[in-house]
Each structure stands twice: as structure tokens, then as C-alpha cells.
Amino acid sequence: MTPDEYCQQRAAASGSSFYYSFMFLPALERRAITALYAFCREVDDVVDEVSDDAVARLKLAWWRNQIALAYEARDAARAHARSGTEVRTGGGSGSVPPVAAEPLHPVTRALAPMLERFDLPRAVFDEIIDGMQMDLDFNRYDTFADLRLYCHRVAGAVGLLSARIFGYRNPRTLDYADTLGIALQLTNIVRDVAEDAQRNRIYLPLDELARFGVREDELTERRDSEAVRALITFQIDRAESHYEAALAMLPPEDRRAQRTGLIMAAIYRTLLGEIRAGGSRVLLERTSLTPLRKLWIAWKTSRAR
């Protein structure tokens, strides 16, 4: 199995809404965004599936090293292009010094050639891993300002890399991409309140729980109430305001190039609407859209001007 095939399999197996938005991309951009998505799944799974905290931290450190190796390989390729000399990986002898080892994981091997092609900054990959690290360091957030930093790292940063892959002319598009990523993460938080609480993770800001008169044990024990539903509706309103803000930032000249993000926004806003229409009862049921409906939304949005 090639690195690209591994990433494709990883993306398809997840069943995520992101997969449906990738279908309308040109081949190279689709390869790059699929590799990026697979990377996000890999580091997210470290936090979600590794029960030993120390092991999870070691795995995240390993992924940081994989990213570092990918950039070392990119820098070696740049040096080769400038000098026109032969470049080898690994050890060897002769007039050409050896370069650093290449990344080992199929995901970082798939990402490596995309770093130069789409000018993807290493610091943004590190931010994504920083966000995953926050899940090991915190399971509560006192205020929305604290939560927003988390959302930026785990989703806004992904948006920034995605926007570069899709292509843009106006720098304001990067502000749109960051804000859209935060909106998508806020939607995930609303949808997954019960599931996260069962794992002793509460992403709703604690000062807002207090404002609405909701106790933590109401979430962890899945006790629905008018106060809980009012709190969730408030979170839905916040997510919607981030979608509106993001769309207002997107320059018209970049709208077509960024249609994959617009597809994601359309799918996730539909999901938010379903949660609201159901009375914001996220503790009683997990709302989802069928694959056929996601595909329909993706096709319809891709056709919009």
C-alpha cells in the first residue's frame, strides 16, 4: 500500500463529513488534503485511544519528530534544487553529504512532497499537535477565551493549512479559514457533549454552565433539562455567529477555490439546524446526517456561485 493509498483508506474509513467535501477537488489538491486529514486523525487518535497518559505524550512527541523529518527532507530537496548536486537519504560516502532520514509513517511520507508544493508552514503543524496536547493537559475550560485557543489549535490551524492547499489570492482568506475552523470545532463540541462528558471531558466553558445554572454532573450523567437545552442553544448561536463571521471574511475572488470549506460549512450548519430543531437535546441523542444527505449538500454547494 502506498502512502497516498493509506491516507485515502484512513479518510474513507472515518465516515467524516470532510470526506464528502474532498470529492470535488482536483487530483493533487485532493491528495494533499487527504494526507492532511489523515495526519489529523492520527494525532487525534493518540489522545482518544491511548489510555496511558505517558504513552500518549510520547506518541505526540514522536509525531512532532515525524513532522520535523518531513521538513528536513523538504529543506534537503530545496538545497538540491539550488545546487544541482546529487542528494541521497540515509548514510553514504562521497562528495555529497548525507541528508536527514526521511519520515517513516505513511501519512508523513504522503505529506512530505506537499509541504513545498503548497508552502505549508511547519509551525502550523506544531500548533495542531499543541492542541492535541491540550487534551492531555485539560479536561475543562473556564472561559470561552480558553476554549477558543483550543479550537484554533485543533481546527483553525487545520483551516489555515487547508486554505493554502485549496489556493487563495487575498490574505484575508486565511482569517476566514481560521474562523471557519473554529466554527466547525464548536459544532463538534455541541454535537458531542454527551459523548465527551462520558469521558470526563467538558468543553462547554464552566463560567457559562454557572450562568445557565447547569452543574457538571448533569452533563456527565446525561440529565436533560430546560437549563441544559438553553445552554446548548447558546452554544449553537455562538457557532452560527462564527460561520457568519467566516463567510463575511471570505473575499469573492477566492470563493471558488475555497469551495471545499464552504461545503463543510454547509454540512455542519445543516447539522446545527437539526440539533436546534430537535430542541437542543444533545444529552438524549446524537444527531447525525446520512451519507446521502451529506453528498447532496456537498454537490449542491459545489454548484453554487
pLDDT score recorded for residue 303: 84
For 42-60, b/e burial (b = at least 16 CB within 10 A) is bbeebbeebeeeeebbebb
Interval 143-163 mean pLDDT: 98
pLDDT score recorded for residue 92: 44
Least confident of 13-22, 68-77, 84-93, 233-242: 84-93
pLDDT score recorded for residue 150: 98
pLDDT digits 0-9 by tens, 46-103? 999 998 999 999 999 999 999 999 998 888 877 877 776 544 444 444 444 445 567 8
Least confident of 72-81, 178-187, 224-233, 284-293: 72-81
Domain with CATH 1.10.600.10 in the chain: 138-305
Count CB neighbours of 174 within 10 A. 17
For residue 42, the one-letter residue type is E
In the DSSP assignment, the letter for residue 222 is T
- If one compares 112 and 83, the residue with the highest pLDDT of the two is 112
pLDDT band per the 50, 70, 90 thresholds, residue 233: very high
Interval 174-202 mean pLDDT: 97
pLDDT score recorded for residue 12: 82
Interval 197-223 mean pLDDT: 97
With 80 as the cut, is the pLDDT of residue 16 above it?
Answer: no
Instruction: Let me know how long the chain is.
Output: 305
Phi, psi (degrees; rounded to nearest 5) at 97:
-70, 150
**What is d(CA 179, CA 161) in angstroms, rounded to the nearest whole number?**
13
pLDDT score recorded for residue 44: 95
User: How high does pLDDT run on average in the chain?
Assistant: 91
Whole-prediction pTM: 0.91
pLDDT score recorded for residue 15: 66
pLDDT score recorded for residue 11: 84
- If one compares 78 and 242, the residue with the highest pLDDT of the two is 242
Closest to 154 measured CA to CA, from 183, 174, 191, 176: 183
pLDDT score recorded for residue 95: 42
**Which string of DSSP letters, residue by residue, matches 154-205?**
IIIHHHHHHHHHH--SSTHHHHHHHHHHHHHHHHHHHHTHHHHHHTT---S-
**What is d(CA 17, CA 192) in angstroms, rounded to the nearest whole number?**
15
Interval 133-146 mean pLDDT: 97
pLDDT score recorded for residue 103: 82
pLDDT score recorded for residue 82: 79
Architecture of domain 138-305: Orthogonal Bundle (1.10)
What's the alpha-carbon Rg for the chain, to the nearest Å?
21
Interval 156-175 mean pLDDT: 97
